């Protein structure tokens, strides 16, 4: 990979002298969807797919960016205007990070960047968080600034919220910055307390399935769900004073909620929090059947109560569940398109992939 990137870097910038290599992983959330901005627990894991970068410092005070497979090229001065521009497309992510770091007093130096991504864009595997964390880490490294990974995650969440305009929680940035091989992260999104949990599934494997129905969070109903949860928490606090986060509420509050739409959103958050706890226990015991059932329950809640799945994700998970080697499946990520996961016996993986892909294509016309 490094040799390939070096050749491409030389082609892009004229020389590969003095380049350094960096990598950040994507992430998959095993369970705990839409809980990060509701103060709940999530169970993400870093994955081998991600974004790599070849970087060479320069003395020009200019940051230059290119990415293999992407037409857009961009450059900007570290002391110039770094405001968001729709026409800058993916370049807004590094630009937003640079603006945030400059505002914190981090000394920025010029540099030439070439990215190579194995993450499908808009798939729910955190390509945006990945490039944010990667650029933050690199710019701090070039400026000899501290690279505390929790702090980097918090900074990149701020970029996503205030610069990009997506009201996400901390999960994506935290998982990208703090992943550990062969482990998931039981993360309390309210306190940032994190425990690395060994992923023990015996003869079963988690399979990530890309629906190839892309979505952009800023253009979806993501921010609508965020606002609905704010309204739900306001109601819950009136019913149960002292409740700080929606995820910590009791199901008993639902009997006092008359708004049926908000009741569904609240019910998903509360029941999903319980499923995270149960899945953590099932992973510790290597109970593939229990994990699969919890994946199914999570998807049905996201479909019926939170309403963020849609036909493509429902079709793909239905096709997965219909295979005898699969114990359960669910959408992963924010929804509205993107990826799903399934837990599948290792001896049936090839047959599972073939038959699930065929059933999904026949139903949707899309190729997983």
- Distance CA(23)–CA(285), nearest Å, equals 33
Distance CA 213, CA 200 (A): 30
Q: What is the DSSP string of 310-343?
A: -HHHHHHHHHHHTSTTEEEEEEESS-SSSEEEEE
Alpha-carbon distances, residue 151 vs 26, 51, 59, 108, 187 (angstroms): 18, 20, 27, 17, 15
Residue of 105, 107, 182, 139 lying closest to 20 (CA atoms)? 139
Tell me the three state secondary structure of residue 9. helix
- CA distance readout (Å), 359 to 117, 292, 362: 29, 20, 5
Q: Is 59 one of the annotated active-site residues of the chain? A: no
Given the residues 36, 136, 172, 314, the one annotated as active site: 172
What amino acid positions are annotated as catalytic residues? 172
């Amino acid at each position: 990979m490094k040799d390939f990137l070096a050749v491409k870097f030389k082609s892009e910038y004229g020389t590969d002298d003095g380049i350094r290599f960096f990598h950040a992983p994507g992430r998959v959330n095993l369970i705990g969807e839409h809980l990060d901005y509701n103060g709940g627990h999530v169970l993400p894991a870093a994955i081998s797919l991600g974004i790599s970068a070849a970087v060479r410092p320069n003395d020009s005070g200019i940051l230059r960016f290119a990415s293999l497979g992407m037409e857009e090229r961009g450059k900007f001065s570290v002391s110039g205007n770094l405001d968001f521009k729709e026409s800058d497309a993916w370049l807004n992510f590094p630009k937003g990070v640079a603006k945030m770091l400059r505002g914190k007093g981090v000394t920025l130096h010029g540099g030439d960047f070439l990215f190579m991504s194995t993450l499908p864009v808009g798939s729910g595997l955190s390509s945006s968080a990945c490039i944010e964390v990667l650029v933050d880490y690199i710019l701090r490294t070039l400026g000899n600034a501290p690279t505390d990974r929790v702090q980097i995650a918090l900074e990149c969440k701020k970029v996503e919220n205030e610069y990009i305009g997506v009201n996400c929680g901390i999960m994506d940035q935290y998982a990208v910055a703090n992943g550990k091989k062969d482990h998931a992260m039981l993360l309390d999104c309210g306190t940032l307390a994190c425990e690395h949990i060994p992923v023990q599934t015996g003869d079963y494997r988690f399979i990530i399935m890309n629906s190839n129905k892309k979505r952009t969070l800023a253009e979806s109903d993501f921010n609508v769900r965020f606002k609905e949860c704010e309204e739900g928490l306001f109601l819950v606090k009136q019913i149960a004073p002292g409740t700080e986060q929606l995820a910590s509420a009791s199901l008993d509050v639902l009997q006092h909620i008359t708004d049926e739409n908000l009741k569904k959103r609240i019910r998903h958050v509360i029941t999903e929090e319980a499923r995270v706890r149960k899945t953590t226990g099932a992973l510790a015991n290597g109970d593939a059947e229990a994990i699969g059932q919890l994946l199914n329950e999570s998807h049905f809640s996201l479909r019926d109560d939170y309403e963020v799945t849609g036909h493509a994700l429902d079709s793909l998970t239905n096709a997965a569940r219909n295979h005898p080697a699969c114990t359960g499946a669910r959408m992963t990520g924010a929804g509205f398109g993107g990826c799903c996961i399934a837990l599948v016996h290792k001896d049936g993986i090839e047959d599972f992939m073939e038959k699930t892909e065929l059933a999904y294509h026949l139903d949707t016309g899309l190729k997983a």
